[in-house]
Structure 1
Amino acid sequence: MAALAAAPTQPTETGAPAMTLVTPAAADTAAAAPTPSRMLTGDRPTGRLHLGHYFGTLHNRVRLQDAGVETFLIIADYQVLTDRDVAEHLAEHVEDLVLDYLAAGIDPARTTVFTHSAVPALNQLLLPFLSLVSVAELQRNPTVKDEIAHSRQSTVSGLMFTYPAHQAADILFCKADVVPVGQDQLPHLEVTRTIARRFNDRYGRVFPEPEALLSAAPLVLGTDGTKMSKSRGNAIALSATADETAKLIRRATTDADRTITYDPDRRPGVSGLLLLAAHCLGRAPEDIAAEIGDAGAARLKALVTEVVNEHFAPLRARRADLARDRAYLHGILREGNARANEIADRTLREVRTAMGMDYGV
């Protein structure tokens, strides 16, 4: 993965190699690396993807796919249950994810799209992986802490604590060596690297230690000035209509200062809207703020509504066309599940052999 290298993070345990943070610009060279790269990423099917997903990771997935990197997209349906008692409307949400992927530019001829529950060998990796991490390591994972804080459950399930190890199985079953993530997901990826390293040290080298591909985009904020999230009710869906988008942006949190400035710490609501406009226009948020000046929040919201709707109009049109053929979506999943099962079965056989569990059966 030398062709993707960028500045490393600090190691999290004594003697452990630091994780490399790959920049989006460096990702364009991935296809020229001596050994073709393999990327895995994905989403829980809890609802339609939103603008935060798009600017945070989805456009990077398309970039790597188009650069020739072998790409896997997991729809993590089992993991819906980490913070929910039941998985409501699951089939609908799975189809919505496939639609969002395709509309954004994911090509099923070059990217394997599959569902978590359809790959038994992947999930079986969770057992040996859990033996390689302590309860304390799982408990202090900051991403798990944040998920627990926003959980819909009155108690925390065991699945919530095993979430990082389950994600390690998702990534390592196909031996992915690069994973597009948001900044908030770095602790999960560090657990994956730790599990891979410890397995290799204990049983012999089987797994790579995957690197993080960080988006150049800062954290995209929701309409309330906090992280955009489906569960927090502050998200603008990729599939939202122009009218729905306008309504959500009109309700967005701003402040009483009429002069528009980009100051994420003091003015998160205003700055979040400026950042959305900046992503859509390919400009600096400070420049957009200067142009609006004293025109106030109403002008800011009108501008953001206009540029968001213009930017995503082609994606929304493609999505509407694809939604007319549900059989096509199901066919993509069937083919993707078959491909993922072939790879997972092969990896599980390697794991059993390395662990001395190959009994000739």
Structure 2
Amino acid sequence: MASRSQSSAAMLAPVIALAVPAFAGNALQNEPIHPVPAAAPQDPARVALGRRLFSDPRLSANGVVSCASCHNLQAGGVDGRARSLGFNGRLTALNTPTVLNAALNFRQFWNGAASTLEQQIGMVVENPVEMGSSWPVVVRKVLDDSGYRRAFNAAYRDGVTRANIENALATYERTLVTPGARFDRYLQGDNGAITAAEKAGYARFKQYGCVSCHQGVNVGGNMFQKYGAVMPAPSAQGAGLGRFLVTGNPQDEQVFKVPGLRNVARTAPYFHDGSAATLEQAIDAMFRYQLGRESTSEDRKLIAAFLATLNAEPAVQP
């Protein structure tokens, strides 16, 4: 993982001219973005349990909210709100990130508080705004369901436990990766998979330095960065504490996990506070606050066109 100081320095680097990508054999070589691999094989019984739990509102205190309430798998893995509604109708502090490709992130949550999907699930269940429940209560509800009880006994040696519920959900989420995007096919050697305009958008994405933070398999999700690395950026009230809530270091205010951009064209609104309603607004803000320059309408249009080529569906349909 690059340190925050290293990643900030990368964002401040001067714009350089990049060579036209060259195909070697059937694949595009030396690109900062890499194709999404197929999901790693998972235990089918545990995946089936996780799929059921993902849509079960009984995980919340009052039986109203499930994981799927905020992570709509038919809409890019988000709910389309600037901030989500918790179990009692209160708004969450931050925008809900997509669950698609979450398994590719190096940490979970905007502030990186969880290092695994299992930890993330454990914290959401007990969050006083999101699900508002407790693990003893959740375990009891699952035990009281005979179907769950039989399935857990078949899938896990010790049956229904908090750890096994977390693992089942995380196992299911690990299947929610999205290989086969048009841009991935381009990287793999299909030069006609994206249009000339989309290629031009990718060239600008690299030329202006966006790839300093948005690269790798998930086009992000692998470092922390200050929101407002070059110019101070506004943030919704109470939403700017970021990584500070984990480290207690004042320098980590407004520092967040860089979001992955897979399926980003489907996950508006954008940023930790949901302050950008459209993808072009988000691109404009990134130019201003992260790159210290103004975007043109052509920049926004072309880069948005490139980002749309990152859309794909999970290989295993939820």
| TM-score, normalised via structure 1 length | 0.26
Q: Which has the higher contact order (CA 8 A, sep 6+)?
A: 2
Structure richer in helix, relative to its length? 1
Structure richer in strand, relative to its length? 1
| TM-score, normalised via structure 2 length | 0.28
